[in-house]
Structure formats: structure tokens, C-alpha cells
Chain A
Amino acid sequence: MKNRLRPYYPLLPVFAAYLVLFLVGRNVTGMWQLAATLVFYCALGQAFNIFLGMTGYVDFGYVAFLGIGTYGMATAITGLAGYPQLGLGIVAIGFILAIVMATLLSMAVGAVALRLRGAYFAIATIGVNEGFRYLIEGANLWNGSSGMIFTAQLNEILGRDLSSRIMTFWADVMVLFIAAAAAVVTLLYMKSKIGYALTALREDEDAAKVMGINVTKYKIIAFITSASFAGTVGAASWALKTPYVFPPEVFEIHYTIEAIIIVMLGGAGTMLGPVVGALIYGISKYYLSIFLPGFQLFIFALVIIFIIVMFPEGVVGVIKGKTRNTAIAPYIM
């Protein structure tokens, strides 16, 4: 019995962290919005880690998937505002649309960019993000640069009280569930054939190919999974939490950078890494903005360079190395 559950131990610290975040957010005054922000960073990191951490490919245009997810939810709400009988069903439709659109985009991007490696891949994905944004603005898709503001429609469908609860509470809870689901999927992938194939790929892609591993297939699986999680994060954390969407904001490259920093801080390719990275990043950012307003970017840049040079394997990477063969080892992955 114990041994059968043992592979799932790494989920324990992750879930414990989420539970603590939730409880602190609920019970300590003034902490819910901070907890929500931290959960957003956790979800962002967990989702990104599925691709970046497992394959070592740096997707610089990752935010595009959050953006398209936001548009998915926005389309559902604005398009179906005339059907109040849908009730909460509209949120479900929005999520489905967000996932479908993110998946389609990731398939299109994957078909092109996943043929490339290293820096070429990173540049291609930046190109996708920027190009897509300019397509929306240039061809006036979804209202072009004017964007969509749909708090009124959400109020109309769900009523003022419920939609207010969604914006200030339930949207954040949904992000928490997405983060947890991403953690479970990460674990399942790591324990399955996909994980082994991707580890081989990360170490040496050509050797993996020679060994007969269908690297392209597994890369695409990880890419699409990661992208559709990003779509749901965008739908919940951007479209539902703040019902508006302006193209330059949802395709803002800084979110990709933040995701990279989170994964890197915590340790790329580890299970617990994104959570640790998100907590360190989010909390320190929050207190820097309170105690040293105006200087946080400067301090961050210095700290990040220091960490990359000194601890390239991230916090969890270091802990993992230190705790090898100890009793804690099964919990850290």
C-alpha cells in the first residue's frame, strides 16, 4: 500500500503549499488578493514548467497562450450575453473555448516552431506572440486595439452579486484548481513514458532520436498540454477576474519573462520548483513594492543575474541535491 502511493509523495508539499495559501488568504485580513496573485504565479509557473522544464525549450512567446485563453472567455461572455438562461454554464463554455483556442494556436505554433532548436526556437516564439498581437490589431479581430470590456455583460448574465463574487473570489479559486491540476499532470507525465522520453531529449536530442524515441511526438504533447493550461489561466485570472481585454496587455512579453524567472528560481524540470519560485518571486516583489517603491526592478535584475550565475539549478535543485538519500527525498522531485 505504502509503496503504491510513494510515487505520489511529491504532490504532498505542492498541495500543502496551496492549502496554506488558501487558508492564509481566507483567514488573515487583507491577504486574499495577495494569495490570489501568488496562486496566479504558481499556476503560471506550473503550466510553463510542463513544457520548459521538461524539454528545456525556451518558449519566449508563452504569454500568447494566456492571451488567447483570455480572448476565449471574452468571446464566450460577450457573444452569449443575450442568453441569461445559460447562467454559470457560460463560464464553462468560456473555459472550453479558451482551451480549444489555446490548443489550436499551440498546434499551429508547434508545427512551425518545434522544428527549431535553442535560440532559433526562442526567437520564433517571440515572433508568434508579436505577430499574433499585430494581426489582432491590424485586421481588427475581436475589436482590434479597442479591446473588449465586459463587466456589464457578466453582470447581466449572472447578476451583480454573483459576478462580483466571481471577480473577487471564485476566479482565484479556479486558478488554484488549475495550478493543482497542472501539478498532477506534471507528476503523471514525469512518471510515464513521456517523462523519460523528454528527459532523454533534454540531455541530448540527437541521441534520443537515434535511440528510436519519437521526440517530436512527446515535444508536441508537452507543448499542447502546457499551452492549454496557460489558456485556462488566462481565462480565469485575466478574463474572469477582470472582465476586460486589451491586446497589448495580454500579449505583454513581461509575463513570459516572469514565468521563466519563476521556473528558473525554483528549479526547471522539478515538481516543486515552480511553486517555490512563485512564492519567492511573488512575496519578495510584494514587499519590495511596499518598502522600497520604485526600486524593485533594479534589485530584481541584480538578484536574478546573481542566482543564474551562482545557483543555475534553482532552489529546489539545490535542496534536491542536498537531501538525496534522506527521508525527505521522496517528497522532492
Chain B
Amino acid sequence: MKSFSFKPFVFLIVCLFFFSATSAFAAPPDEIVIGHPACLSGKYAKAGEQAVGGIEACIHWVNSEYGGITLDGKKVPLTYKKYDCESKKENVTSLIGRLITVDRVDVVFAPYSSGLTLRGAPIAEGHSMLYMDHGGANNKIFEQGFQYTVQTIGPATSYHKGTLDMVKKIAPDAKKVALAYEDSEFATMVMEGAKTHAEELGFEVVFERTYPKGVTDMTPMLSAMKATDPDFVLGGGHFEDGQLFNRQMSDLNIDVDCLSLIAAATLPAFYEALGNMAEGVMGPSHWEYGVTYSQEAAKEIGTRWIGPSQDEFVSLFKEAVGDQDMVPDYHAAEAGAQVLAYVLAAEKADSVDSGKVRAALGDLEFMSFYGTWDISDSGLQVGHSMVDVQWQDGKREIVWPESAQTGKPCYPMPTFDEKAEGEKALP
């Protein structure tokens, strides 16, 4: 008798569970669903918002311009099911579980960052579900033997390769490079790649240090770096530390020929925050507005083209986020390109079965506004090449590789004193 009093409580929980479970049968069979535990709030909200915009833009294009995915001769529309994982790993697993079993999605797009991507991978793998990674750059994800996980974003070790190649080519006298990255799993891997490549090219690494996440003052490290008198500096990690890096280099009057920062430097907010001080600063990017990927370019190298042109993508993106002032960055582009890769692979496999689509993705090579695509056997992205951008007169110019240039690099960049006088970094 006594324990009966608990029944309403237990009953309530059960009801809640069932309530959510019934939505399982809502999805009609004649659509293909992309599931995504997006980071709409929490620490990755910025990148998450971009990714969602990019995905929605490309889905819109697929449904209205492309006409849907052709399966068995029939055009099937794509739909998008997203939840907010709050940038937390507990939510990633429960939401992916729900996407796969309740919403019965056909493919899961991983959340942003390597950590959260890794968190979701075992669940997707356990359900033999295709799991596409557009925001986890850590190479080690693809050394774990996952069978259904593929990468759209390029691996972390290649971020600063282009910058080093550029300096080697245009400034044969430059010798000394300083590396100063954030102490995080991603940035230290970029640093590792940069160091290896710098040594291959015959540069002398004169400074190699990290700074902790959430740093608010880098003066001691930068002072030590100044003492080594580097010709150029590679570094960075995230958004706020990149702004701080540039600012404090200026505060300490550390003038170098070239400064390239990952993540932060390619965003419009970087220039807005720093103003003229950001002139000449470079950053590697997976995609920037102005890249020269087009239908013609695809024809030239004899590969297949799909998707909107970059201008179409930008306007679709603005429409998707409902904000005409927001411009897509590479987080949006790589997530959008992932939709296109899925479309082609599903058509090639003529199926939405994860195993078949995964196999088709392995053989797939194509070009979109985001660039070329090709993955290795383990799922690592090897076909996509990064571009290097430089702030020139308040605009982001793509200065490397030469084949994608929208402008010539400015090397050496003006000194901080000159920049304080208002000098622009012009080639």
C-alpha cells in the first residue's frame, strides 16, 4: 500500500519518455533526413551557428535548385533535424541516440570540435550510422579504426603548411620562425604539423611555446619571443586569444615580417576588434569568400561540380540565418559542403544505407564552392586544400596558394608603428 504513493512519480517519468518516443513515427519514408546535435549555445555557439546556417543553405539549394536526391529514379527531398547540444558531451550522446533511433535520420553530422566529435563517434558506429565530421580537425580521430566516420574539414597538421610554403617562396632570406600556440589539443597538433614542415623547408625554429586556454595576458611569453628576434611568427588557437596575440604584439612593439594566426585572424570580428593593427596579419582558412572554385575550374581539372556558386551560397546562407549582415565563414562552408558530399555519395550508392554511402564517399571526388573533396581509407580528408588570407586595407585577400589568389601577398607587413600611423598592408 505504502509504496503506491510513488506510482504517480514513476508514471510521470514513463509518460515523458513515451511522449518523446511517439514522434518516431512522424517521419514519412519519402524524405532523407540529416541529423545534427548542433552547438547552438555554450562555448562553441559561434561556430555552431555558422555551421547550421551553412547546412540549411545547402539543403535549401539541394531541394530547390538540384531537385532533391535521385534515388531509384525518384527525386527525394532532404530535411534537417537539429538539436542544441549546448557544446556539452553528455548531451551529444543522448541527442545522437535520439536522432538515430527516434528520428531515424539517415546520416548524422557531428557537433563542432574534436572532443564532441569523438564523443558521438562510438554511438554512431554502434548503430552503423554514417557520421560526418565537419568540425573536428584532430588527425587522431581517424587513427581509431572508426568505419562510418568521415571528415570534411582538413586535418589540423596541415593548417600552417601553406603559410610556410609561401614564406619559403617569396622570402628566401627568411630563416627564423617562432611558434606560439594555445595549449589545446587542436592547436598543439597544428603546431606539431607546422614544426615538422618548417624543418623540412629548412627554417630554424627559434621559439616554440604554448599559452594556456583562456589566457588574459600574454606579455611574459611574447617578451621571451621578442628576444629570439624571429623573422615571422605562426601561432594562435581560438578566437579571443588570437585578438589578444595581435594586440599585445603591438603593445610590445614586436615587429615581424609575417604573422599568421589560426582561427581568429580570418574572421571579420578580428579586424573590427583590432582595426588598423590587424593590417597585414594572415590566417589559414578552409574557405574564404573569393576562392576561385567554380564550374569552369572543375572542368579544367576534370572533376565533377556540384552545388551553388559561392555568391549563391552567401545569399542562401544569409537567408537561412535570417540576418543580412552575417557573412558565412569557413565553419559554414565546410558544413554546407558536407551536405553536397552526402548528396553525391547517396546518388552514387543509389541508397541511403550508411555502409553503401560510406563506401561511395570513399570513391568520391568532386568540387564545390568549398573546394575539392577526397578522403583516405580511414576517412581523413586529404583532397581539400586550405587557403591563406591576409588583411589588406580592411579586406580579406586570398594570397596563397598562387592558383587561388585574389591578391598578391604583402611581405613584409608594415611595422606596428607604421600601422598606428594608418599605413595599410598593400603588396
- Touching chains A and B, CB distance < 8 Å: yes
Asked if B3 CB lies within 8 Å of chain A CBs, one says: yes
Interfacial chain A residues near B146, Cβ < 8 Å:
151
In chain A, positions 279-310 with a C-beta closer than 8 Å to chain B are 279, 283, 285-287, 289-290, 293-297
User: With an 8 A cutoff between CB atoms, is B202 at the interface?
Assistant: no
B121 within 8 A of A: yes
User: In the bound complex, how far is the Cα of B6 from the Cα of A113, in angstroms?
Assistant: 40
Q: A242 touches which one: B86, B89, B210 (CB < 8 A)? A: B89
Question: In whole angstroms, how far apart are the Cα atoms of A145 and B214 in the complex?
Answer: 14
Name the interface residues of B272-327: CB closer than 8 Å to any CB of A.
none
From known contacts A30-B24, A164-B125, A297-B41, infer whether A244 and B115 are also in contact, taking CB-CB under 8 Å: yes
Residues of B within 8 A of A16 (CB): 3, 6, 10
> B21, B40, B119, B144 — which one has the most chain A CB atoms within 10 A of its CB?
B144
Chain A 122-156 against B: per-residue CB contact (8 Å), 1 yes, 0 no? 00000000000010010000001111010110010
CB-based A-B contact count at 8 angstroms: 164
Asked if A241 is at the interface (CB within 8 A of a chain B CB), the reply is yes
Cβ contact within 8 Å between B93 and A29: no
Contact (A327, B90) CB under 8 Å given A28-B17, A145-B188, A151-B121: no
Q: Are A293 and B83 in contact (CB under 8 A)?
A: yes
B184, A293: Cβ atoms under 8 Å?
A: no
Pairwise interchain contact B101-A30, C-beta atoms closer than 8 A:
yes
Task: Assess whether A149 is in contact with B140, with CB atoms less than 8 Å apart.
Answer: yes
Contacts of B123 in A (CB 8 A): 33, 167-168
Q: Is A40 an interface residue, CB under 8 A from the partner?
A: yes
Report chain B residues within 8 Å CB of A169: 126
Among B71-96, those with CB < 8 Å from A are 82-86, 88-91, 93-96
Contacts of A244 in B (CB 8 A): 115, 118-119
Chain A 104-119 interface residues, beta-carbon cutoff 8 Å to B: none
**How many angstroms from the CA of A6 to the CA of B374 in the assembled complex?**
66
Choose from A146, A164, A246, A289 the contact partner of B122 (Cβ within 8 Å). Answer: A164
Mark B230-269 against chain A: 1 for CB-CB distance below 8 A, else 0. 0000000000000000000000000000000000000000
Instruction: Determine whether the beta carbon of B2 is less than 8 Å from that of A20.
Output: no
Question: Is A152 touching B145 in the complex (CB atoms < 8 A)?
Answer: yes
Contacts of B144 in A (CB 8 A): 149, 151-152, 155, 243
Q: A20-B13, A29-B24, A155-B145 are in contact. Are A146 and B188 (CB under 8 A)?
A: yes
In the complex, are the beta carbons of A289 and B84 less than 8 A apart?
Answer: yes
- Is the Cβ of B21 less than 8 Å from the Cβ of A293? no
Q: Identify B18's interface contact among A28, A34, A37, A289, CB under 8 A.
A: A28
Interface residue? B417 (CB, 8 A): no
Determine whether the beta carbon of A327 is less than 8 Å from that of B41.
no
Given A327-B1, A328-B2, the answer on whether A279 and B13 have CB atoms closer than 8 Å is yes
- Is the CB–CB distance between A28 and B119 below 8 Å? no
Tell yes or no: A89 within 8 A of B by CB.
no
* A13 adjacent to chain B (CB < 8 Å): yes
* With A16-B10, A32-B97, A289-B83 as contacts: A145 and B210 at CB distance below 8 Å: yes
The residue from A137, A242, A294 contacting B118, defined by CB atoms under 8 A apart:
A242
The CA-CA distance from A31 to B86 in the complex, in Å, is 19
Question: Residue on A with the closest CB to B97?
Answer: A33
A17, A37, A327 interface centre (most CB from chain B within 10 Å) = A37
**B94 adjacent to A36 (CB under 8 Å):** yes
Bound: A168/B121 CA distance, A: 10
Q: Which of B102, B122, B125, B145 has the most CB of A within 10 A?
A: B122
Asked if A37 contacts B93 (CB within 8 A), the reply is yes
User: Distance in Å from the Cβ of A179 to the closest Cβ of chain B?
Assistant: 15
A154, closest chain B residue (CB) = B144
CB of B30 within 8 A of chain A? no
Chain A's closest residue to B52 (CB) is A293
Mask, A77-121, CB within 8 Å of B = 1, is 000000000000000000000000000000000000000000000
A16-B6, A17-B10, A20-B10 known; A34+B122 contact, CB < 8 A: no
B125 pairs with A31, CB closer than 8 A? no
A113 to B5, CA, bound (A): 42
A31 engages B122 (CB within 8 Å): no
Smallest distance from the beta carbon of A159 to chain B beta carbons, Å? 11
The answer on a CB contact under 8 Å between B96 and A331 is no
Query: Which partner residue on chain B sits nearest A147 by CB separation?
Result: B185
- Residues in B neighbouring A149, C-beta threshold 8 A: 118, 138, 140-141, 143-144
A167 touches which one: B5, B42, B95, B122 (CB < 8 A)? B122
A286 to B97, alpha carbons, bound, how many Å?
A: 12
| Chain A residues positioned under 8 Å from B185 (CB to CB) | 145-147, 246
A246 and B115: CB pair below 8 A? yes
By the criterion CB–CB under 8 Å, are B145 and A151 in contact? Answer: yes
Are A146 and B21 in contact, with the CB atoms below 8 A?
no
Show 24 residue pairs from A and B whose CB-CB distance is below 8 angstroms, ordered by the A residue. Answer: A16-B6, A16-B10, A20-B13, A30-B24, A34-B94, A34-B97, A36-B93, A144-B188, A145-B184, A145-B210, A149-B138, A149-B144, A155-B144, A164-B125, A165-B126, A168-B127, A246-B184, A246-B185, A283-B13, A283-B16, A287-B16, A289-B83, A289-B84, A327-B5
Top 4 closest pairs, chain A to chain B, by CB: A33-B97, A293-B84, A30-B102, A30-B101
Query: Interface residues, chain B, CB within 8 Å of chain A?
Result: 1-3, 5-6, 10, 13-14, 16-18, 20-21, 24, 38, 40-42, 45, 82-86, 88-91, 93-98, 100-103, 115, 118-119, 121-123, 125-127, 138, 140-141, 143-146, 183-185, 188-189, 210, 212-213
